[in-house]
Structure 1
Amino acid sequence: MNRKKILLDVDEVICFSGFLEAVNEFLDTNYTIDDFTDYYIDEVAIPKERLDEFNQLVASRNAYKNPIMLPDAIKTIERLNSYYDIFICTSCVNPFDPLESGETMKKKFLFLMEYLPFINPNNYIFTSSKGLIKGDIIIDDRLPNLDTDIETKILFPSYHNKDISEIELEEKGIIRAGYNWRTGWKEVEKILIKK
């Protein structure tokens, strides 16, 4: 029997990388992820005249060295792996520093190997054009990435997508996995694993 394929995002779905940590260190602030509503935190928090300096700091670090893992992510993904074929489908290009993107991809690859050892590395897809990839289910925190003809589209709750209306999601055939990233994986499990 052919198992259904899940396309699974990484950032803000499996973990928060060390990006916010870098913002706080750079600005000497104590922001939390819930202080933001825009996806690109640096565009909001970092003064434009200091963006190059900030990008140099980010490039010098491994954002995936000490990630904040979202509650129940690993446990639920491992359980889903028993029922579905999981493909990691994640962006690898930093639009603010494309030249550093190869190094970022390597760091993300090693993060996946360490934290999700039960997923075959041949199932890693690094792309910013997720709409080109085919699967049966897609789980992502960004609405543009769910603009696809995939049958089951799940919006993972995050700080930047709380204000998307139910009407908009319904029109696009998207299921919301709750409103709180702290409980998002419990909601995903309810949607995808029938008791």
Structure 2
Amino acid sequence: MKTIAIDMDGVLADVYQQLIDMHYSESGITLKSSDMVGMTEAEAFPHLLKHVHTKGFFETVPLIPGGQEVVAELSKQYKIFIVSAATEFPLSLTEKHNWLNKHFPFISWQQMVFCGSKEIIKTDIMIDDHFKNLDVFDGKTFLFTQPHNEKSSPGKHERVNNWNEIKKILLG
């Protein structure tokens, strides 16, 4: 059975929406992801570090549409691993674990990989929104479109814009 490593933030978990919502609640200003195209997350969200270090941030992130359903379908034909560089934000470890248990109950604890660098990941396929993770990966790579990577050429990675595209490619 082929294996897939799937990133959490920006692929399954809509951190952009979470940050937009937090920015609005603090400032009353509505940010639009279309205004952030080509900007790093730190450039787009001036209070990024404050927010990702806020208790509850990772546990309450909304789902990216289609991810839950497509990952469930993929899990019937592939061995799925959810891989997150969670050690960068220590509060996120428990919160991400809880979030996955809530939204992806079919993913067991053995399929949750919380790490620092993803260069140790050795699956057949990786789906991620950051080049730093895909560029060091040896298997087939899919770049999940997010505002920070939208202007960039995907290079050797295949760009996917949503979960329906992933479903068409990997499930036919």
Q: What TM-score do the two structures reach when normalised by structure 2?
A: 0.87
Would you say the 8 A contact 1:22–1:58 is kept in 2?
no
Distance apart, 1:71 and its partner CA: 1.5
Which residue is 2:5 aligned to?
7
1:135 corresponds, among 118, 123, 143, to 123
Would you say the 8 A contact 2:11–2:144 is kept in 1?
yes
Alpha-carbon displacement from aligned partner over 1:90-127 (angstroms, at most 9, x marks no partner): 11144xxxxxx222211111000100000111111112
Distance apart, 1:131 and its partner CA: 1.4
Letter of the 2:24 counterpart: N
Q: Distance in 2 between matches of 1:5 and 1:129?
A: 19
Letter of the 1:175 counterpart: E
Letter of the 2:41 counterpart: Y
RMSD between aligned residues: 2.1
Gaps of 5+ in 1: 95-100, 179-183
Distance apart, 1:175 and its partner CA: 0.9
1:39 aligns to 2:61 (yes or no)? no
Alpha-carbon displacement from aligned partner over 1:13-46 (angstroms, at most 9, x marks no partner): 01213233222223331113332132324x4442
Aligned length: 169
Q: Distance in 2 between matches of 1:58 and 1:26?
A: 14
Q: Percent identity?
A: 26
Which residue is 1:98 aligned to?
none
For residues 59 and 72 of structure 1, do their structure 2 counterparts lie closer, same or farther at Cα, with a shift above 3 Å needed? same
Which residue is 1:114 aligned to?
102
For residues 72 and 107 of structure 1, do their structure 2 counterparts lie closer, same or farther at Cα, with a shift above 3 Å needed? same
Q: Distance in 1 between matches of 2:28 and 2:87?
A: 27
Distance apart, 1:190 and its partner CA: 1.2
1:187 corresponds, among 145, 160, 165, to 165
Which residue is 2:80 aligned to?
86
Which residue is 2:28 aligned to?
28
Gaps of 5+ in 2: none
User: Per the alignment, in what secondary structure is the counterpart of residue 134 of structure 1?
Assistant: coil
